[in-house]
Amino acid sequence: MKTFNLKNTLSIIALALLVTALFQACKKDRSQRNSAYSAAEFTAIFGPQAQRLQINANTANTFTLKGGTKITIPANAFKLNGTTVTGNIVITAAEFLKRSDIIFSGTNTNHISGAPLESDGFIYLNASVNGINVDKALGANIEIAIATNNTRATQIWEGVEKVNNANQMAWQAPAQNPNGAGGGVRESLPVAGFYNFQMGNLGWINCDVFYAYTNPKTTTRVTIANNPGSFATFMGYTGETFVFFCAKGSKVVAQLYTPDGPNGVKSYTDMMPIGVEGKYISFSIKNGKYYYADLTTTITANQNISLTLAETTEAAIQQAIDALNNY
């Protein structure tokens, strides 16, 4: 699979989309159960909500997000068009710590190679000055601590928002940090209930491990019957219909988004583990109507399944996705 240069991972359009979606989400109260009219609005309403705070770029800042993620930003870490930013700066962040967070937001745990990852939690982090986003590359490393109950090590990734020339999402090894350390695959061991690590860039920041299995791998295909629209891109930017595979007992959210005929999608070639039990789910939001289907199965060689979307309610889709946290 093609590897993308760090500078090209966030297009202006994708970044604008993300910030817009996060700000929309911040304005909407999930407890009100607002009805979404489209897939993009659904991810904005029910995905993790944006958290915003103002800091002074000239001084060091440490803060904790609502889900427990701790972030330390040194003084003079931000740049705008290569020039160090001074004065007040607005931080926008969102936490994706549960399987439902990932699905509601229209994101995933796909590695850039196509292999499924098991999520240990990820965040989105952005900064702006006078409404203008600062450079993604930082002038100094930020320190991040993501809460965990694990005793094993995790690996550190950054998000790619443009995969195979499509507006889809995957994860790749982060670029080298400003101090010259940390390029390529990195690991973090849990200390006092946190994965602690440094990053040299803003954007999507992730703790994941490769889904551990020794089973032979295959390509799986899913045909969606009664599909009311087209397949959705990252965060529902376009399209209406999402398709995911969730492995039982592991926080794997593998999104199937590679086209496979007019009504189907497929996994990446020879990346899905034969013999693993899990659940395929598909949901669609179009013109204010909601559709859902799922199938619990065990992956077989060259698996080809069909899901038939049936009209349902927003509450029913929420319940089905929330239930996957304990699957």
- Name the CA radius of gyration of the chain, rounded: 19
Give the 3-state secondary structure of residue 185: coil
Q: What is the tens place of the pLDDT at every residue in 109-138? A: 999 999 999 999 999 999 999 999 999 999
Distance CA 45, CA 24 (A): 7
Is the model's pLDDT at 22 over the cut of 80?
no
Distance CA 147, CA 142 (A): 17
- Which of the 8 DSSP states describes residue 304? E
Q: What is the tens place of the pLDDT at every residue in 241-275? A: 999 999 999 999 999 999 999 899 999 999 999 99
Is the model's pLDDT at 13 over the cut of 50?
no
pLDDT band at 185 (very low <50, low <70, confident <90, very high): confident
Is the model's pLDDT at 20 over the cut of 80?
no
Q: Taking each helix axis from N to C terminus, what angle separates 39-46 and 12-27, rounded to the nearest 10 degrees?
A: 60
| pLDDT the model gives residue 242 | 98
* Side-by-side strand order, sheet with 310-312: 253-255, 241-247, 277-286, 289-298, 310-312
pLDDT band at 16 (very low <50, low <70, confident <90, very high): very low
Write down the domain spans for the chain.
6-210, 217-326
Q: Are 283 and 106 in contact (CB under 8 A)?
A: no
Which of 77-86, 157-166, 178-187, 300-309 is predicted least confidently? 178-187
Give the 3-state secondary structure of residue 83: strand
| pLDDT the model gives residue 18 | 52
Fold of 6-210: Chondroitinase Ac; Chain A, domain 3 (2.60.220)
| pLDDT the model gives residue 35 | 83
pTM across the whole model: 0.89
Position of tokens 């080298």?
176
Distance CA 317, CA 321 (A): 6
Average pLDDT of the residues in 198-218: 94
Is the model's pLDDT at 14 over the cut of 70?
no
| Average pLDDT value for the chain | 90
Is the model's pLDDT at 182 over the cut of 90?
no
76 CB neighbour count, 10 Å cutoff: 16
- Which residues on adjacent β-strands are paired with residue 172? 158
pLDDT band at 10 (very low <50, low <70, confident <90, very high): very low
What distance, in Å, lies between the first and last C-alpha atoms of the chain? Answer: 30
Distance CA 230, CA 46 (A): 21
CATH number of 217-326: 2.60.40
